[in-house]
Amino acid sequence: MARVIVIGAGLAGLAAAVRLAKLGHQVTVCEQDGRLGGVIGRVEADGFRWDAGAASTTLPAALRDLFRKSGRPLESLAQLDPITEPRRHMFGDGTVLDLPVGDRAAQLDAWTDLAGAKTAQRWTDLVDGYGETWQILRKTSLEPPLMDKLPFNAIRGLKPWQSLERVAERNLDDARARSVLRYYATQHGSEPKLTPGYVGVWSYLERTFGRWTIDGGFGALADALAQRASERKIDIRTGAEVVGVSTRDGAVTGVRLADGEDLPAEIVVSDIDPRELYGQLVDDPAAKKVRRQVLHTHQAQAAYVVHLGLRDPLPTLPFETVLHGSPTVVVRAGGQAPAGHQAWSVLVHGYPTDDVLDLLVARGLHIRDKVVSRQVSPSWLTGVAWEGFRTARRRAANISPVKGLYCVGAGAHPGTGIPATTLGAAIVADAIGKA
């Protein structure tokens, strides 16, 4: 049995903690804030409740595997529900596309109705092609640790030198279809022209596995993980800021807290920004190369998020509406509200120069006089911005060159988003193994 300290109680940190506790390790989680969950938290005010960050996911099997491998199934603690409404795309020319998820034939029909059979077939063929991309990524990056060198056939299949912008221009004949594909880069705070084309694989994953949410909001997932941590007898320390990772001869020996306490450990799992970890917390010669590597990355641009409590009557919106333009604005209508009201979250991807309500009005949503509550979400770590395909190698690996040190979370491999961070925690747990 190893003594394990997890730095940070976000989704990835909690996921790693409960997996390792189930494997028989003694686990302590140190979280500098007073609450658990990070980006899967809640915002509550004036009788409204919104998801602070993530509100849905694809690849539901990743969450189900997390709970199954740490104890009882997810359904014993929270209900994972499919989102049956299409994602709505509203374009600058006034046209609207309600694009189903989880249904190939329905997507083909939706594109045909909007832009004709040729455009619909081009979109369908492109998404079909990402099926091979998914198999390559799954086998080389998402289930095992990232390989030091990908096989030639994998590189040829991924074509990492092609940007998402280039893929859109070459394969799609309609500006609106290109905008929809670019959204898979925009939603994670990166520029499509700097994002590898294989990132468009998310279009295939959504169409194949659908999108899912948690009954009661994603904050319920944080509650479920906290309960699982309690069941696994994990020591959760809130208000515990880690200011240093202690090492000796290239191996971790524990962590130092801001209050001066030293906590010994044979294993440290970090769920904080790797640039902070390697730039400020770890001072060991074994980390020199990876420190230089991660400090050459840049944080992806976080969405500016405003939560609105609104009174009826209101336009009827699906779970998610994407308002294309500059900046891209996303409206999530899945919050909880008192009777006669609705809870919307508005995410602005880009640099907003106008007030959120002005942006909504300009895109055709005239709801200014309906606002009864307005809250702003705190900023969260959004991961590493794509700056060309080599960014994948600059992102922190899950297994550190410092013995006993591991990285999970949005800033580490395999990247940001609920599925990726959950899979990263699984990679780490598998690498550490049973006590």
b/e burial code for range 380-403 (CB count within 10 A of at least 16 → b): bbbbbbbeebebbebbbbbbbebe
88 falls within a domain? no
Beta strands in 194-292 (DSSP E): 212-214, 235-238, 242-248, 251-257, 262-264, 267-270
Task: Give the mean model confidence (pLDDT) for residues 298-325.
Answer: 94
Domain membership flag for residue 106: yes
Considering the domain architecture, whether residues 120 and 229 belong to the same structural domain is answered as: no
Query: How far apart are alpha carbons 197 and 163 in whole angstroms?
Result: 4
Pick from 69, 103, 98, 56: nearest CA to 209: 103
* Mean pLDDT, rounded, for 74-92: 95
Q: What is the pLDDT of residue 398?
A: 95
Across 287-349, the runs of DSSP E, i.e. the strands, are 304-311, 320-323, 328-332, 341-349
Judge whether 67 and 422 are in contact, CB under 8 Å: no
Task: Answer with the residue of higher pLDDT: 432 or 390.
Answer: 432
The pLDDT of residue 143: 78
Residue 297, pLDDT above cutoff 90: yes
* Three-state SS at 277: helix
pLDDT in tens, 314-359: 999 999 999 999 999 999 998 999 999 999 999 999 877 789 999 9
Shared domain for 275 and 243, answered yes or no, is yes
- Identify which has the larger pLDDT, 160 or 377: 160
In a domain, 87, yes or no: no
Q: Is the Cβ–Cβ distance between 12 and 271 less than 8 Å? A: yes
Residue 191 lies in a domain: yes
User: For residue 142, what pLDDT is reported?
Assistant: 84
95 inside domain: no
CATH of the domain at 24: 3.50.50.60
Give pLDDT tens digits for 159-215.
Answer: 999 999 999 999 999 999 999 999 999 999 999 999 999 999 999 999 999 999 999
* Statement: residue 3 has pLDDT above 90: yes
Residues 113 and 192 in one domain: yes
Share of the chain above pLDDT 90, in %: 86
Confidence at residue 147, expressed as pLDDT on a 0 to 100 scale:
66
pLDDT of 245 strictly over 80: yes
Average pLDDT, the chain: 94
What would the two tokens of residue 223 be? Answer: 């509650």
Same domain, 259 and 133: no
CB 404 within 8 A of CB 266: yes
Predicted pLDDT of residue 93 = 94
Instruction: State how far the Cα of 307 lies from the Cα of 149, in Å rounded to an integer.
Output: 44
Residue 343: predicted pLDDT: 97
Only one residue has tokens 């690996």, namely: 397
Which residue range is the domain that position 329 belongs to? 304-376
Residue 379 scores a pLDDT above 70: no
The answer to whether residues 71 and 180 belong to one domain is no
Residues 111 and 186 in one domain: yes
Q: Which of 355, 275, 359 is nearest to 92 (CA)?
A: 359
At residue 377, does pLDDT exceed 90? no
| Distance of alpha carbon 410 from alpha carbon 14, whole angstroms | 13
- Which of 164, 188, 209 terminates a domain? The answer is 209
Domain count of the chain? 3
Residues 190 and 258 in one domain: no
Angle, alpha carbons 93-97-99 (nearest 5°): 155
Which residues, other chains included, contact 104 with Cβ-Cβ below 8 Å and sequence gap of 6+?
124, 127, 207
b/e 11-37 (16+ beta carbons within 10 angstroms → b): bbbbbbbbbbbbbebbbbbbbbbeebb
Report yes or no on 200 lying in a domain.
yes
DSSP per-residue letters across 112-176 = HHHH-HHHHHHHHHHHHHHHHHHHHHIIIIISSPPPSS--HHHHHHH-TTSBHHHHHHHH--SHH
Consecutive H or E run containing 26: strand 26-31
DSSP 399: B
Of the three residues 209, 238, 270, the one that is the final residue of a domain is 209
Residues 217-239 pLDDT 10s: 998 999 999 999 999 999 999 99
Distance CA 42, CA 181 (A): 29
Nearest by Cα to 375 from 308, 312, 330, 303: 308
Q: Residue by residue, what is the 3-state secondary structure of 119-133?
A: HHHHHHHHHHHHHHH
SS3 104: helix
- Statement to judge: residues 277 and 349 lie in one domain: no
pLDDT of residue 378: 72
Look up residue 186 and give its two tokens.
Answer: 């925009």
Q: Which of 209, 227, 247 is the last residue of a domain?
A: 209
Residue that wins the pLDDT comparison between 377 and 235 = 235
| Confidence label for 46 from pLDDT (cuts 50, 70 and 90) | very high
Please state the rounded mean pLDDT for residues 253-274. 97
Is 93 a domain residue? no
| Cα–Cα nearest to 16, from 291, 398, 342, 415 | 398
Q: Are residues 286 and 404 in the same domain?
A: yes
On whether residue 352 sits in a domain, the answer given is yes
> So what's the pLDDT on residue 381?
62
Q: Name the pTM for this structure.
A: 0.94
Residues 288 and 370 grouped into a single domain:
no
pLDDT digits (tens, 9 = 90+) for 402-433: 999 999 999 999 999 999 999 999 999 999 99
Q: Assess contact for 382 and 410: CB atoms under 8 A.
A: yes
Same domain flag for 269 and 406? yes
Helix, strand, coil in percent for the chain, rounding step 5? 40, 25, 35
CATH code for position 118: 1.10.405
Residue 316 tokens, joined: 């009827």
pLDDT at 321: 98
Helix (H, G, I), strand (E, B) or coil at 349: strand
Q: What is the CATH number of the domain that holds 353?
A: 3.30.70
Q: What percent of the chain has pLDDT over 70?
A: 98
Task: Verify that 163 and 124 share a domain, yes or no.
Answer: yes
pLDDT in tens, 105-146: 999 999 999 999 999 999 999 999 999 999 999 998 887 776
Which pLDDT score, from 0 to 100, does residue 145 have? Answer: 74
The whole-angstrom separation of Cα 427 and Cα 422 is 9
Give the position of tokens 């940070």.
8
Contact call for residues 99 and 86 (beta carbons, < 8 A): yes
pLDDT over threshold 70, residue 148: no
Q: How many CA atoms lie within 13 Å of 14's alpha carbon, on the beta-carbon side?
A: 27
The pLDDT assigned to 411 comes to: 93
